[in-house]
Amino acid sequence: MWFTIIREFFIDLNKQKLRSSLTIIAIAWGTLSVVLLLAFGRGLGNSMLEGMLGAGDQVIMVFGGQTSMPYEGQAEGRLIRFTEDDVALIDRAVPGIAYSSPQYGRGGARLQTERNTTTTYMEGVNPDFEVMRTMYPAAGGRFINERDVIEMRRVLFLGDDIAERLFGDEDPVGKEVRLDGSPFTVIGVMKPKMQTSMNFGPDANRAIIPYTTFRNIYGHRNINSILVRPADASLQPQIVDGIRSLMSSKYKFNPADEQALPMWDFIEQEEMNRTINTGLEIFLFTVGFFTLMIAGVGVANIMFVIVKERTREIGIKLAVGARKIHIIIQFMFESLFISFLGGFIGLAISTAIVQGVLALNMTDGPGEFLGKPEISAVAVAVTITVLVLIGLIAGIFPAVKASRVDPVESLRYE
Output the CA angle 35-37-39, nearest 5 degrees. Answer: 65
Mean pLDDT, residues 306-310 taken together: 65
Q: DSSP letter for 54, please.
A: T
Q: Judge contact between 156 and 207, C-beta under 8 A.
A: yes
pLDDT given at position 97:
93
pLDDT given at position 189:
95
pLDDT given at position 334:
74
Give the range among 49-53, 297-301, 353-357 with minimum mean pLDDT: 49-53
Q: Is the dihedral of CA 311, 312, 315, 320 positive or negative?
A: negative
Is the pTM value of this prediction over 0.85? Answer: no
Write down the domain spans for the chain. 2-53+270-411, 60-265
Mean pLDDT, residues 150-179 taken together: 93
Cα-based distances in Å from 190 to 130, 158, 248: 10, 6, 36
- Strand, helix or coil at 118? strand
What confidence tens digit (pLDDT) does each residue in 3-26 have?
665 666 566 666 666 667 777 787
387 φ/ψ angles, rounded to the nearest 5 degrees: -65, -40
> In sequence order, which residues have a C-beta less than 8 Å from that of residue 82 and are 6 or more positions away?
62, 64, 102, 222, 223, 225, 226, 247
For residues 300 and 405, the model is more confident at 300
Q: Judge contact between 165 and 159, C-beta under 8 A.
A: no
CA distance 252 to 73: 10
* Torsion, Cα of 338, 340, 346, 350 (10° steps): 180
225-230 and 97-112 as β-strands: parallel, antiparallel, unpaired? antiparallel
Half-sphere exposure of residue 313: CA atoms within 13 angstroms, side-chain side = 9
CB count within 10 Å of CB 284 equals: 21
Residue 75: pLDDT band (50, 70, 90) is: confident
